[in-house]
């Protein structure tokens, strides 16, 4: 009995979450970058309206970002293997600084350069940050807890950043108008990205690169990436430009968009918490399809809404259902590919998301200029088709 007690206490100590120096530094980086992105999220769309950008131009900017990210993926992954993940993560934040500063200047040609830099930064961070975080976890049985804590903290920081749009707008008279407020928000975000650089530089990278990188992938990985691309195409049309859609249709500003973003974060957390139960009852594949099918009608209802409050409520619920399926999709993908292929599967996912999303965003901007609600209807149709293909393609594989 005494031996069992000692073993139990040892297990409890191993499972308790203890943040080492690396994890504490990465937590600071996560908080600062999430806060910066949270400030940017509700500001960008109304800022573009203040600059006089059309729906087609907004879609083109998102397309440039997506293409730049896609082109950067393979070189970034290769650089991560040769020089390490920390180096790539630093480059991501270095690129973010001039991107935001160029956006402050407001010139359309400079905006395209800014969004190209953002695309590279997104690709580099997507490849580098999570592996660097995983490499810093000393005990493997702490991995789930560490990633959960980081996601919760990042969501909280992002929500706080979104809420900051309200006090900033309250000083619009002092700062010289709404446009000046939006530019101030961008400058605050740039300062937060700058804070990340010395903190990240202090992180010790425990993993040594082996200088090897392979691109060979299996048929199932290609099939999964194709399904992911179809989903990204729909998201590009209806989700990537949703902030601009809200601002253009209902005349709302960063304050309202920020509150909606905070509500979305909270609802996504609640919905995601219920997915393990749903998966245990229905199976992973069926649970994913059910969540995706449930989200599509809410996209249509959003377009039909007579007011911003109703539209925002419906779209936020749609986002919660759609994003709740993401962990299940990732889990299914990781189980269906070989262990040594999981990193390549992740890279394929980002590649598919950026390329197909960029195409969808460009088309969505054109559709929005033709009829403001058309991108949402088109996205809902794509989601329904993707859910059907997802089930038919994987029902015999799982």
| 172 and 247 belong to one structural domain | no
Q: Locate tokens 């007690």: which residue?
A: 5
With respect to residue 82, please indicate whether it lies within any of the assigned structural domains: yes
| 118 and 266 belong to one structural domain | no
Q: What is the pLDDT along the chain (398 residues), one digit of tens a residue?
A: 334 333 444 333 434 456 888 989 999 999 999 999 999 988 888 899 899 998 889 889 988 998 898 888 888 877 776 777 788 899 999 999 999 999 999 888 999 999 999 999 988 887 777 777 767 777 655 654 566 677 677 878 888 888 887 888 888 778 888 899 899 999 999 999 999 999 999 998 865 545 555 667 788 989 999 999 999 999 999 998 999 999 999 999 878 888 898 899 888 878 877 777 787 788 888 988 999 999 999 999 999 999 999 999 999 999 999 988 877 777 777 678 775 566 577 778 888 887 899 899 999 999 999 999 999 999 999 999 999 999 999 987 75
Distances (CA, A) of 365 to 109, 311, 372: 18, 19, 9
Collapsed DSSP state (helix, strand, coil) of residue 132: helix
Domain closes at, from 149, 180, 205:
205
With respect to residue 7, please indicate whether it lies within any of the assigned structural domains: no
Q: pLDDT for 132-188, tens place per residue?
A: 776 777 765 565 456 667 767 787 888 888 888 788 888 877 888 889 989 999 999
Domain closes at, from 205, 227, 259:
205
| 192 and 275 belong to one structural domain | no
Which CATH number goes with the domain that contains 168? 1.20.1250.20
Q: Report d(CA 56, CA 67) in Å as an integer.
A: 16
Domain closes at, from 205, 231, 266:
205
Distances (CA, A) of 230 to 205, 226, 289, 358: 36, 6, 14, 12
Q: Report d(CA 142, CA 136) in Å as an integer.
A: 11
**Contact at 8 Å (CB) between 392 and 254?**
no
| 152 and 285 belong to one structural domain | no
Distances (CA, A) of 276 to 45, 258, 290, 291, 388: 35, 29, 14, 13, 22
Q: Report d(CA 352, CA 228) in Å as an integer.
A: 6
| 275 and 376 belong to one structural domain | yes
With respect to residue 212, please indicate whether it lies within any of the assigned structural domains: no
Q: Report d(CA 281, CA 291) in Å as an integer.
A: 13
Q: How many domains does the chain have?
A: 2
| 155 and 236 belong to one structural domain | no
| 106 and 242 belong to one structural domain | no
With respect to residue 165, please indicate whether it lies within any of the assigned structural domains: yes
Q: Would residue 84 be called left, alpha or beta, if left means φ above 0 and alpha means ψ between -120 and 50 degrees?
A: left
| 232 and 376 belong to one structural domain | yes
| 256 and 132 belong to one structural domain | no
With respect to residue 11, please indicate whether it lies within any of the assigned structural domains: no
Question: What per-residue string of b and e applies to 33-45 under the rule 16 or more CB within 10 Å gives b?
Answer: bbbbbbbbbbbbb
Collapsed DSSP state (helix, strand, coil) of residue 353: helix
Q: What is the residue range of 335's domain?
A: 218-398
| 222 and 187 belong to one structural domain | no
With respect to residue 350, please indicate whether it lies within any of the assigned structural domains: yes
Q: Report d(CA 382, CA 398) in Å as an integer.
A: 23
| 197 and 236 belong to one structural domain | no
Q: By CB neighbour count within 10 A (0-12 exposed, 13-18 middle, 19+ buried), where does 65 fall? A: buried
**Measured on CA atoms in the order 246, 68, 378, 322, is the torsion positive or negative?**
negative
With respect to residue 370, please indicate whether it lies within any of the assigned structural domains: yes
Query: Which among 84, 66, 79 is positioned nearest to 120, based on CA atoms?
Result: 66
With respect to residue 6, please indicate whether it lies within any of the assigned structural domains: no
Q: pLDDT for 37-87, tens place per residue?
A: 999 988 888 899 899 998 889 889 988 998 898 888 888 877 776 777 788
| 92 and 123 belong to one structural domain | yes
């Amino acid at each position: 009995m005494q031996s069992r007690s000692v073993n139990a206490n040892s297990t409890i100590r191993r499972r308790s979450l203890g943040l080492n120096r690396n994890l504490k530094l990465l937590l600071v980086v996560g908080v600062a970058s999430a806060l910066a992105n949270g400030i940017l999220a509700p500001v960008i769309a109304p800022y573009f309206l203040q600059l006089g950008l059309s729906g087609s131009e907004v879609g083109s900017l998102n397309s440039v970002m997506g293409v730049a990210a896609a082109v950067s993926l393979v070189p970034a992954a290769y650089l991560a293997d040769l020089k390490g993940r920390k180096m790539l993560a630093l480059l991501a934040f270095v690129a973010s600084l001039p991107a935001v500063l160029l956006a402050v200047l407001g010139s359309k040609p400079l905006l395209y350069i800014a969004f190209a830099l953002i695309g590279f930064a997104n690709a580099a961070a997507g490849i580098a940050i999570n592996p660097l975080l995983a490499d810093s976890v000393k005990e493997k049985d702490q991995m789930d807890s560490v990633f959960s804590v980081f996601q919760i903290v990042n969501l909280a920081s992002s929500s706080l950043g979104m809420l900051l749009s309200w006090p900033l707008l309250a000083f619009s008279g002092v700062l010289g108008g709404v446009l000046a407020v939006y530019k101030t928000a961008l400058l605050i975000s740039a300062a937060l990205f700058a804070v990340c650089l010395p903190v990240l530089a202090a992180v010790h990278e425990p993993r040594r690169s082996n200088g090897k990188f392979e691109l060979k992938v299996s048929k199932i990985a290609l099939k999964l990436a194709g399904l992911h691309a179809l989903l990204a195409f729909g998201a590009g049309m209806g989700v990537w430009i949703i902030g601009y859609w809200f601002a253009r249709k209902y005349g709302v500003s960063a304050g309202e968009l920020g509150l909606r973003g905070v509500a979305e974060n909270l609802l996504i957390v609640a919905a995601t918490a219920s997915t393990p139960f749903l998966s245990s009852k229905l199976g992973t594949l069926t649970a994913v399809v059910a969540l995706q099918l449930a989200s599509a009608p809410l996209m249509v209802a959003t377009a039909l809404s007579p007011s911003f409050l109703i539209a925002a409520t419906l779209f936020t619920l749609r986002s919660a259902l759609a994003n709740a399926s993401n962990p299940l999709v990732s889990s299914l993908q990781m189980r269906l590919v070989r262990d040594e292929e999981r990193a390549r599967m992740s890279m394929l996912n980002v590649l598919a998301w950026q390329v197909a999303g960029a195409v969808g965003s460009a088309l969505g901007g054109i559709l929005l200029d033709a009829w403001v609600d058309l991108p949402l209807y088109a996205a809902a149709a794509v989601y329904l088709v993707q859910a059907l293909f997802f089930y038919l393609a994987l029902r015999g594989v799982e």
